[in-house]
Amino acid sequence: MIVIMKPTAQPEQIESLKKELEGLGLQIHFSQGMNTTLMGLVGDTTRIDIGKIASMDIVEEVKRIQEPYKKANRKFHPADTVIKVGEATIGGGGFAVIAGPCSVETPEQICAVAQAVKASGASLLRGGAFKPRTSPYSFQGLRGEGIQLLLEAKKQTGLPIVTEIMSYEDIDLFEDVDVIQIGARNMQNFELLKRVGRLNKPILLKRGLSSTIEEFLMSAEYIMAEGNEQVILCERGIRTFETKTRNTLDLSAVPLLKKLSHLPVIIDPSHATGIPWMVEPLTLAAIAAGADGVMIEVHNDPPKALCDGAQSLRPEQFDALMTKVKKTTAFFQTL
């Protein structure tokens, strides 16, 4: 971090700021110009409040040189984080496929979809029990009962389950859930992030609708700073001016996140586009971009789905997609 002092700053004021910063465990290096003094702060500046320094009368400007996230940063952890969930592995070179309906609806529906996606080669089952819906009048999910149905589907297929938590009040219901999802709308629910950060369970963190990459990584940092380093990043499309697709899939987020962070990165082409026929090309594009996996909505009877039927693949479409996923991942492994 660099602090640029105002030309009017007096030596004793500069010395007093230096002492204050040294008290925070930082080393201070000075660069003296004709009119300006620059202070270089060396050490862990993640806990420094930039605004507080910038608001001092003697300070012209403060610039961060290093990213404000440390635990999620690849610079401090060069090796890929590999997350093991049951038999499944996310990160470290493979391509994990999470599939299932938007919402858990009935025992027949979730078990039929679980069996179908397992047979096609999915390694984890998704399904929403607590649903963040735009309208309070829309189906809100089966809540605790939905989680019980997911556990039944897990028993039948052996697939680990991924489901979203919306409020920490419900945490007891998630005891046997394998991966807890934090949805796009809660990406900056910092209290929720801190609470799941104290769990010993992988967290699938979805990018907020209009969040920058840095904000996304800072949310991962919130979880990791509490001790839980098992975070999976999910790019699920961001809000842009485009209306032809539900969101805009930011595919450049994949190589960017992989460069900046060691955490596994997956994409969700279902929510990113809202269009079932776009799921396949974007899944293949995600493999090419270096993603560690994908999360896809699959429903056994999309027109009757209680949520997001229009973007869901039918099991046979998912099966055809999986054939291409296998060929494409095998091809990329030869490069």
H-helix segments, 23-130: 50-54, 107-120
Q: Nearest approach, Cβ of 33 to ligand PEP (angstroms)?
A: 48
The stretch near ligand PEP (CB under 6 A) out of 62-70, 77-85, 178-186, 283-291 is 178-186
What is the Cα–Cα distance from 308 to 252, expressed in whole angstroms? 25
Which C-beta is closer to Mn ion: that of 262 or that of 299?
299
Burial 222-259 (b: 16+ CB within 10 A, else e): bbbbbebbbbbbbbbbbeeeeeebbbebbbebbebbbe
Q: Residue 156, SS3?
A: helix
On whether the CB atoms of residues 195 and 178 are closer than 8 A, the answer is no
Which of ligand PEP, Mn ion, none sits in contact with 236, Cβ below 5 to 8 A by type?
Answer: ligand PEP
Exactly one of 271, 280, 292, 293 binds ligand PEP (CB under 6 A); which one?
271
The answer for residues whose C-beta is within 8 angstroms of residue 12's C-beta and 6 or more apart is none
Exactly one of 72, 85, 113, 184 binds ligand PEP (CB under 6 A); which one?
184
Exactly one of 21, 62, 96, 102 binds ligand PEP (CB under 6 A); which one?
102
Exactly one of 71, 236, 246, 262 binds ligand PEP (CB under 6 A); which one?
236
Q: Residue 132, SS3?
A: coil
The answer for residues whose C-beta is within 8 angstroms of residue 207's C-beta and 6 or more apart is 184, 187, 216, 233, 234, 235, 236, 238, 250, 253
Q: Nearest approach, Cβ of 265 to Mn ion (angstroms)?
A: 20
| By CB under 5 A, residue 164 contacts Mn ion | no
| By CB under 5 A, residue 308 contacts Mn ion | yes
Q: Nearest approach, Cβ of 185 to ligand PEP (angstroms)?
A: 6
| By CB under 6 A, residue 128 contacts ligand PEP | yes
The answer for residues whose C-beta is within 8 angstroms of residue 98's C-beta and 6 or more apart is 122, 123, 124, 125, 126, 162, 204, 266, 293, 294, 295, 296
Which of Mn ion, ligand PEP, none sits in contact with 183, Cβ below 5 to 8 A by type?
Answer: ligand PEP
On whether the CB atoms of residues 73 and 258 are closer than 8 A, the answer is no
Both tokens of 98, joined, read: 């999470």
Which C-beta is closer to ligand PEP: that of 48 or that of 83?
83
Exactly one of 14, 41, 97, 102 binds Mn ion (CB under 5 A); which one?
102
The stretch near ligand PEP (CB under 6 A) out of 64-72, 180-188, 190-198, 286-294 is 180-188
Exactly one of 25, 132, 158, 255 binds ligand PEP (CB under 6 A); which one?
132
Both tokens of 313, joined, read: 């693949």
Interface with Mn ion (CB under 5 A): 102, 308
| Site residues, ligand PEP (CB under 6 A) | 102, 128, 132, 164, 183-185, 206, 236, 268, 271
